A and B are shown apart, each in its own frame.
Chain A
Amino acid sequence: MIWDDWLPLLIVLSSLSVGLVIFFLPEDRVATRTGLNLVGALLKLVLVGFMLWGVFQGHQYETRLPLLPGLDLVLRADPLSMLFVLLSSVLWLVTTVYAIGYLEDSPHRSRFFGFFSLCVTATVGVALAGNLITFVLFYELLTLTTYPLIVHRGTEVARRAGRSYLTYTVAGGALLLAGTVWLYAITGTVEFTERGFLSGLDASLHPVFIIIFTLLIGGLGVKAALIPLHGWLVQAMVAPAPVSALLHAVAVVKAGAFGIVRVVYDVYGIDFAAGLGVTLPLAILAAATVIYGSLRALFQDDLKRRLAFSTVSQVSYIILGIAVVGPVAAIGGLVHLVHQGVMKITLFFCAGNLAETLGIHRISEMNGVGRRMPWTMAAFTIGALGMIGVPPLAGFVSKWYLGLGALDAGQDWVIFILAGSSLLNAGYYLPVLYAVWFNEPPDAWSDERYFGRHETAWALLVPPVVTALLTLAMGLLASVPLSPLYWARIITTLEYLP
């Protein structure tokens, strides 16, 4: 059935073609651009849904295009890629609606939405990549397409953030490329295979594999915001809200974490990596990032910077889950990939709403804002509580599995890390919630905009509410088939059980 060969490519091309068309749309054609955006997002969602159902039935989807003699461009739908592609297509639809509302009459929108679609194309490409070279190809494409989004406003601050983003990511990309070529030159293949393809080779190569591992993790760590390499993430907060929402909850940061999962699971194989002794340093680095991110978040007054530091620490949960060698912890890490995305995007949407309707950027200005914007703040509360790990929200599920996994893997110190960071999360989210609901609002907001009966434009309000409900749903209906937890279980069974 030819459908099996071309579906993954179709998914990638659906947003690519939309993006290219939008580039050439004149600025004033708002209706067509919005229509195109929504059609593109919905089409992708439908295709992904169709593929999800197919993979659920045990169908094999793979597109193989010749790239180099002996090396193909491979797009394959396996459970791990389904997890990430599902997350990105759902959140892209929601973020597109939000971005249309947010950038109501600002300049350069054709350029923005063009690069916006290209960015999601790259993300989906990263998710569906079937071998390391395809992964690198889309990973670098992601760097190139997100740069224009970060510097979209064109202010001096935005351009400085863009420059720092590029220095980090281009250098990271170079490391990743070096590691990939070295791996390919030694082993002759870069295909992602269950439990990795390095275990069979002779032992003399082990030190080389360790160096290659550090290169790969260095390259991927930049986007996964591991400690020394996270500087760009906080500076990139200056981008418009939909960009920081997409960038930090879905595309860039997740691509890094997803890459690390791919390398550990499908290139090295978890047992071989553990045998090499590289998983423990990775776990320590991730743990350090978790704590560091939360600590820095405590002292940030600017709302988006606090959320950025929270992202730095939350993403490392995923890596921690992987690096703690144990099936249950792996489930926790993998499912957090989706949960963190949904929760964090809710928080960014709300931050965007506050900035757009009331001109609030700092937490100190957020007193009593719950009364003025009840729905937004309700969504914000759900998101924040989810981040802390309060049951029955999604965050609790992933932290629960992470804790259990750490215990049964005998890594007790991880428990303290989890507990400590949850406390810190509470430390920097609860005061905000308290201020929002229980403090007296100031008599006038800095530059308030009125939207008749509603608290803000519907396009800005609906997305956060939807994602908040999703957080709730993923918490309550965790064990329903086709839920993120279900997929995480399938992935770990493939990886761990013989």
Chain B
Amino acid sequence: MQDIPWGVLVILLPVVGTLACFLCPRRSVPLGLAAALGVVVCVAGLGWQVVEQGAQRYAIGGWGAPLGIDLYADGLSLLMLAVTAVVGLGISVYSTSYFEPGRSAFFWPLWMFLWAALNALFLSADIFNLYVTLELLGLAAVALVALAGGADALTGAMRYLLVSLLGSLSYLLGVALLYHSFGSVDIAILAHRMEASPAVWTAMGLMSAGLLLKTALFPLHFWLPPAHASAPTPVSALLSALVVKASFYMLLRLWLEIFPLSNSAPGQLLGLLGAVAVLWGGLLALRQTRLKMLIAYSTVAQLGYLFLAFPMATSIAWKGALYLLLSHALAKAAMFMAAGSILYFGGHDRIADLDRVAQRLPLTLAAFGLAGVSSMGLPPSGGFIAKWLLLEAAIRTGQWWWAIILILGGLLTAAYILKVVGYAFTQAEVTHEARAVPVPMEWAALALALAAVLLGLFAPWPLALMEIGLPFGVEAAR
């Protein structure tokens, strides 16, 4: 069991899944589901290996760091893989009955490609390889958004593609500068040889700008809502829950390991932008009339929280941000699936006349409610634990204003979530005939929402996992 290279399997299995689904489109649903289960098993295997032996470094081709490419799995990447696996499995189950045959023949290969890209990205320890995986991820996401076929889905996909390419090229220019300054593209070697120089600061600026554009932090978030809202539901779920997080993970990795800074000025800037994103996203989410747009703007707001950890830069702050990332991924996927079920059932997702639909879908509303509890940061959810850690970090580092942003953001989230949940308790009878929602769709949403709540009850294990390989530095855990 020890010597099986789980890391490689986690990447290659979805690729094999893609090829299989592409070759026989008629059987793409069973093949896709089988591949999804396989990937979950492989991630579990890798997780067990990392827990047993600590952080794993795997030299591809046997050449070792400066020349070859290394795969590196520590606590941070393991948790990202785990959340991708759980959300991915939920989305796969949801999509078995969401797409009609014509579209699902293309959904599965693209979705498997995206999953392979995510797993490769979370394991890669080489910044050029990260560029290739980032590009693979971007193109797959764009193709998936365009799968919905409507005018706004296509324009959303086009704008997303242009933004994604711009971000990638800016990132690549940063990689070029770093390579030509230090003669290597491996993260560990760069961290070792790193010293501040104009080339490094420019590279950091370019790479961060590129990644911020792809993570849709406040001023650069304009492309996210139309793309995420007009995409088919499983795609919106995986975009908001996973794809946007991948570029955040890369930013986190670079800032933690390569860029020579404590919580310096750029960190404060990111924190400020994050704070504005929390408030701006929340306000706009409150004003939306369509449910999926509301959830998309809620993503913009919740992403703002993640960046609050940059100015604080203590190990608790990083852990809080990562914990929020995990619970947001689960909760946001569940929310989008619930919205998808409502759309599937009632044919529309206008919030104003949601009540005719909501009260006849108890499971879906329960899923939306539970996911809402987690994004509000109310106990007993993962969101609460994350909010607690971030609040604690804010007070311990003396930067109490972030705590105020966290509290205000929580209230704003509560406002727009409970505005929607309120519609479940009405007496309006159903006026138009509706399409029954298939069972896997409702239960997948509920399962992910419950996972978000369970994340709040069993916090010590993920927090212990975060310690492996000390991605967040060594200072006191508490």
Q: Do A and B come from one complex?
A: yes
Which A residues contact B (CB, under 8 angstroms)? 23, 66-70, 111, 133, 136-138, 140-141, 143-144, 147-148, 151-155, 158-159, 162-163, 166, 170-171, 173-174, 177-178, 181-182, 184-186, 188
Residues of A within 8 A of B459 (CB): 66-68
Residues of A within 8 A of B380 (CB): 137, 141
A140 contact from B366, B378, B395, B460, Cβ within 8 A: B378
Residues of B within 8 A of A70 (CB): 478
A136 to B457, CA, bound (A): 14
A141 to B403, CA, bound (A): 22
In the complex, B72 has a CB within 8 A of chain A: no
| Least distance between B359 CB and chain A CB atoms (Å) | 8
Q: Which of B204-247 contact A (CB under 8 A)?
A: none
A185 contact from B378, B396, B426, Cβ within 8 A: B396
A52 to B150, CA, bound (A): 65
Residues of B within 8 A of A153 (CB): 427
Q: Which of B388-444 contact A (CB under 8 A)?
A: 388-389, 391-392, 395-396, 403, 407, 410-411, 414, 418, 422, 425-427
Are B414 and A170 interface neighbours, CB within 8 A? Answer: yes
Could you list 15 examples of A-B contacts with CB < 8 Å? A66-B459, A68-B385, A68-B389, A68-B463, A137-B384, A141-B380, A143-B378, A154-B425, A159-B422, A163-B418, A170-B414, A177-B387, A177-B407, A178-B403, A181-B392
A464 to B156, CA, bound (A): 62
A153 to B407, CA, bound (A): 31
Interface centre among B376, B379, B477 (most CB of A within 10 A): B379
Are B379 and A159 interface neighbours, CB within 8 A? Answer: no
Are A137 and B391 interface neighbours, CB within 8 A? Answer: no
A378 to B347, CA, bound (A): 56
| Least distance between A137 CB and chain B CB atoms (Å) | 4
Are A181 and B403 interface neighbours, CB within 8 A? Answer: yes
Are B391 and A144 interface neighbours, CB within 8 A? Answer: no
Residues of B within 8 A of A177 (CB): 387-388, 391, 407
Residues of A within 8 A of B457 (CB): 67
Residues of A within 8 A of B418 (CB): 147, 163, 166, 170
Beyond A170-B418, A184-B392, list 10 extra A-B contacts (CB 8 Å). Answer: A66-B459, A140-B384, A148-B425, A151-B422, A153-B427, A154-B359, A154-B427, A158-B425, A170-B411, A181-B388
A339 to B419, CA, bound (A): 37
Residues of B within 8 A of A66 (CB): 459-460
Which B residues contact A (CB, under 8 angstroms)? 359, 362, 366, 373, 376, 378-380, 384-385, 387-389, 391-392, 395-396, 403, 407, 410-411, 414, 418, 422, 425-427, 457, 459-460, 463, 477-478
| Least distance between B222 CB and chain A CB atoms (Å) | 30
The 9 closest A-B pairs by CB, nearest first: A185-B395, A137-B379, A181-B391, A151-B425, A154-B427, A66-B460, A170-B414, A140-B378, A154-B426
Are B426 and A159 interface neighbours, CB within 8 A? Answer: yes
Supposing A69-B463, A174-B410 touch, asked if A152 and B378 sit within 8 A by C-beta, the answer is no
| Least distance between B301 CB and chain A CB atoms (Å) | 16
Are B411 and A174 interface neighbours, CB within 8 A? Answer: yes
Residues of B within 8 A of A23 (CB): 366
Residues of B within 8 A of A186 (CB): 395
| Least distance between A134 CB and chain B CB atoms (Å) | 9
Are B379 and A174 interface neighbours, CB within 8 A? Answer: no
A166 to B372, CA, bound (A): 14
A interface, by DSSP: helix, strand, loop or mixed?
Answer: helix
Are B379 and A69 interface neighbours, CB within 8 A? Answer: no
| Least distance between B118 CB and chain A CB atoms (Å) | 28
A70 to B379, CA, bound (A): 18
Residues of B within 8 A of A141 (CB): 379-380
| Least distance between B403 CB and chain A CB atoms (Å) | 7
Residue in chain B with minimal CB distance to A163: B422
Are B378 and A173 interface neighbours, CB within 8 A? Answer: yes
A181 contact from B366, B395, B414, Cβ within 8 A: B395
Are B407 and A69 interface neighbours, CB within 8 A? Answer: no
Are A171 and B411 interface neighbours, CB within 8 A? Answer: yes
| Least distance between A319 CB and chain B CB atoms (Å) | 25
| Least distance between B83 CB and chain A CB atoms (Å) | 19
A177 to B376, CA, bound (A): 13
Are B391 and A178 interface neighbours, CB within 8 A? Answer: yes
Residues of B within 8 A of A158 (CB): 425
A174 to B426, CA, bound (A): 28
B388 contact from A68, A138, A147, A163, Cβ within 8 A: A68
Residues of A within 8 A of B392 (CB): 181, 184-185
Residue in chain A with minimal CB distance to B359: A154
Residue in chain A with minimal CB distance to B377: A177
Are A178 and B407 interface neighbours, CB within 8 A? Answer: yes
Interface centre among A155, A158, A170, A184 (most CB of B within 10 A): A170
Residues of B within 8 A of A148 (CB): 425
Interface centre among B359, B378, B392, B457 (most CB of A within 10 A): B378
Supposing A178-B391, A178-B407 touch, asked if A144 and B373 sit within 8 A by C-beta, the answer is yes
Are B427 and A155 interface neighbours, CB within 8 A? Answer: yes
A141 to B378, CA, bound (A): 8
A171 to B407, CA, bound (A): 9
A151 to B355, CA, bound (A): 14
Residues of A within 8 A of B378 (CB): 140, 143-144, 170, 173
Residues of B within 8 A of A171 (CB): 411
Interface centre among A140, A151, A163 (most CB of B within 10 A): A140
| Least distance between B445 CB and chain A CB atoms (Å) | 16
A136 to B418, CA, bound (A): 20
A151 to B385, CA, bound (A): 28
| Least distance between B286 CB and chain A CB atoms (Å) | 13
A185 to B400, CA, bound (A): 11
Residues of B within 8 A of A163 (CB): 418, 422
B379 contact from A136, A181, A182, Cβ within 8 A: A136
| Least distance between A113 CB and chain B CB atoms (Å) | 14
Residue in chain B with minimal CB distance to A68: B459
Residue in chain B with minimal CB distance to A137: B379
A152 contact from B376, B379, B422, B425, Cβ within 8 A: B425
